[in-house]
Chains A and B, each alone.
Chain A
Amino acid sequence: MFRNQYDTDVTTWSPAGRLFQVEYAMEAVKQGSAAIGLRSKTHVVLACVNKANSELSSHQKKIFKVDDHIGVAIAGLTADGRVLSRYMRSECINYSFTYESPLPVGRLVVQLADKAQVCTQRSWKRPFGVGLLVGGLDESGAHLYYNCPSGNYFEYQAFAIGSRSQAAKTYLERKFESFMGSSRDDLIKDALFAIKETLQGEKLKSSICTVAVLGVGEPFHILDQETVQQVINAHEIVEEEASAEQEAAAAADQDAPSADEAAPADQGIAPMDI
């Protein structure tokens, strides 16, 4: 995407029928550090990479509890994410107050999407620069949704957003068919492996990632560092043994990660269709 004369306002269409400001907002999501989500029939796991500005500073909070049955992981402008989380919490509390029952996730994501859409059709506003992975539980089971700055939302079995998310997506695409029947612990293990893919060489430690779980009989909560480190340790040994076998398979996968860098080059398809 290059600078052109149709990208100043969000209310200006390009001759090709694109809103560049919205597309630029989606780029902001790609710049943020990775966040992934996956779900089974009964559980949703959200995980993210903690990127701190410097060794001296703390990392930004990217996973928020919205209600006992809903959690969200964000990527992009975390300030926008914080504001949207506050909105989501407020909506959940108001719905609970009026109807004495939890707000269905499906409703919440639609409200979020509508809120995002408003910002794509007002000249005095700008689109939110944050992508949200909303995980929630309702009567029909566990759900995972992705909300874009464009105002679109999609339901996913598993998804990854943010920088180097393509590597995680490749891993998830290989494994997703088994997720529906996965146990809670397997889901957490797969989430950590997906995060590992985005680190590309860097050692996976519990200090650089955050994992949150929610499911049937388990209200949303963020796992503490020790628990996460234990899961990492437990699976690392297995990982090393299988690594020799995986070297051959990895060669084939190398093509997929490079697609991330190649994405800006394919201007023919509007990114909103992802």
Chain B
Amino acid sequence: MTKQHANWSPYDNNGGTCVAIAGADYCVIAADTRMSTGYNILTRDYSKICKLADKCLMASSGFQADVRALQKQLSARHLIYQHQHNKQMSCPAMAQLLSNTLYYKRFFPYYAFNVLGGLDTEGKGCVYTYDAVGSYERVGYSAQGSGATLITPFLDNQLKSPSPLLLPAKDAVTPLTEDEAVDLVKVVFASATERDIYTVSSCVYRVL
């Protein structure tokens, strides 16, 4: 007798794509605005970006209910941090907190694919990319979500980020200017929209 499986799933995929690019003194975070379920559209303008701290934004695709819960959880923890330390959380600190929060639910994960972007303690752009259970890495740019497979190879080509294994360590941030990076992001979303039904070209972007 085969094992009985549940006839419902606690998860749903609301689609969407998120991108972030780090520069020398800026960071661009963008996410499309379509929220879908199956082949239907739930809403045409939904922001997947959340400001967690002064210098730290998070864009997440996946199951938006889990994403919202994750955003609230992180915001509340940030408030506690502010009360205790009398200052805002830095982006690297928030990155670690996000990783820990995700792993905390290792055995019933947040169905959220996150990209964290902001300015580090020195004012340089930083982007952190995550999987659903908290494995993370600091990178020069990242894409997550339904359009990620279409966008990432293109960004690899355009931004030519050096391998993190190189010695001496080369800066992962792009030498592009802020405006060039924003244009690149717009172009990237336009292309992804052509082939990914879950992504639209309307996108919200924030620059730090």
Residues of A that sit less than 8 Å from B by CB? 65, 86, 89-90, 93-94, 96-97
* Interface residue ranges of B71-91 to A (CB < 8 Å): 72-73, 76, 79-80, 83
**Contact string, B118-151, partner A, CB cutoff 8 A, digits 1/0?**
0000000000000000000000000000000000
A238 to B76, CA, bound (A): 46
Q: Shortest Cβ distance from B147 into chain A, in angstroms?
A: 30
Closest to A67 in B: B79
Q: Is the CB of B76 within 8 A of A65?
A: no
Provide the residues of chain B in CB contact with A65, threshold 8 Å: 83
Q: Are A89 and B76 in contact (CB-based, < 8 A)? A: no
Q: Which residues of chain B are near A93, meaning CB under 8 Å?
A: 76, 79-80
Scoring B residues 165 to 202 as 1 if CB is less than 8 Å from chain A, else 0, what string do you get?
A: 00000000000000000000000000000000000000
B73: nearest chain-A partner, CB-CB: A97
Q: A89 to B80, alpha carbons, bound, how many Å?
A: 8
Interface class of chain B by DSSP: helix
Q: Which residue of B lies closest to A100 (CB)?
A: B72
Output the residue of A90, A93, A94 with the most chain B CB within 10 A. A93
Using Cβ atoms and an 8 Å threshold, which residues of chain B touch A90?
80
A94, B76: Cα distance in complex, Å: 8
Tell whether, in the assembled complex, residue A97 and residue B76 are in contact, meaning their CB atoms are under 8 Å apart: yes
Q: In the assembly, what is the distance between CA of A89 and CA of B76, in Å?
A: 11
What residues of chain A lie closer than 8 Å to B73, measured between beta carbons?
Answer: 97
B72 touches A97 (CB 8 A): yes
User: What residue of chain B has the Cβ atom nearest to residue A64's Cβ?
Assistant: B83
Whole-angstrom distance from the CB of B65 to the nearest CB of chain A? 15
Q: Closest residue of chain B to A85, judged by CB?
A: B83
10 additional contacts (CB under 8 A) given A89-B83, A94-B76, A97-B72: A65-B83, A86-B83, A89-B79, A90-B80, A93-B76, A93-B79, A93-B80, A96-B76, A97-B73, A97-B76
Near A by CB (< 8 A), chain B positions 37-83 give: 72-73, 76, 79-80, 83
Nearest-CB distance from B76 to chain A (Å)?
Answer: 5
Residues of the B chain whose Cβ atoms lie less than 8 Å from the Cβ of A86: 83
CB distance from B155 to the nearest CB of A (A): 36
For A89, what are the chain B residues with a Cβ–Cβ distance below 8 Å?
A: 79-80, 83
Contacts of B79 in A (CB 8 A): 89, 93
- State in angstroms the CA–CA spacing of A216 and B142 once bound together: 42
A94 to B79, CA, bound (A): 11
Which 4 residue pairs spanning A and B have beta carbons closest together? A93-B76, A97-B76, A89-B83, A93-B79
Residues of chain B within 8 A (CB-CB) of A97 are 72-73, 76
Query: Can you show 14 pairs from A to B with CB atoms below 8 A apart?
Result: A65-B83, A86-B83, A89-B79, A89-B80, A89-B83, A90-B80, A93-B76, A93-B79, A93-B80, A94-B76, A96-B76, A97-B72, A97-B73, A97-B76
Residues of B within 8 A of A96 (CB): 76
Closest to A86 in B: B83
Give the residues in chain A near B76, CB-CB below 8 Å: 93-94, 96-97
Kindly supply a per-residue 1/0 record for chain B positions 154-166, scoring 1 wherever the CB is within 8 Å of any chain A CB and 0 otherwise. Answer: 0000000000000
How far, in whole Å, are A90 and B77 apart by their CA atoms in the complex? 10
* Bound-state Cα–Cα, A190 to B76, Å: 36
Q: Give the complex CA separation of A90 and B76 in angstroms.
A: 9
Residues of the A chain whose Cβ atoms lie less than 8 Å from the Cβ of B72: 97
The CA of A96 and the CA of B76, in the complex, are separated in Å by 9
**Closest residue on chain A to residue B78 by CB atoms:** A93
Tell me how far the C-beta of B73 lies from the nearest C-beta in chain A, rounded to whole angstroms. Answer: 8
Q: How far is the CA of A94 from the CA of B73 in the complex (A)?
A: 10
- Quote the shortest CB–CB distance from B77 to chain A (angstroms): 9
B87 to A: closest C-beta gap in Å:
13
| Smallest Cβ-Cβ distance to B77: which chain A residue | A93
Give the distance to chain B from A143, nearest Cβ to Cβ, in Å: 21
Q: For the complex, give the distance between the alpha carbons of A86 and B84 in Å.
A: 9
How many Å lie between the Cα of A83 and that of B80 in the bound state? 14
Q: In the complex, how many angstroms separate the beta carbon of A97 from the nearest chain B beta carbon?
A: 5
Cα distance A90–B83 in the bound complex, in angstroms? 10
Query: A130 CB to closest chain B CB, in angstroms?
Result: 18
Residue of A nearest to B86 (CB): A65
**Closest A residue to B80 using CB positions:** A93
Of all chain B residues, the one with the shortest Cβ separation from A68 is B79
- Distance from B84 Cβ to chain A, minimum over Cβ atoms (Å): 9
B5 to chain A, nearest CB (A): 33
B151 to chain A, nearest CB (A): 33
Q: How far is the CB of A221 from chain B (nearest CB, A)?
A: 12
A94 to B80, CA, bound (A): 11
CA of A4 to CA of B76, assembled, Å: 48
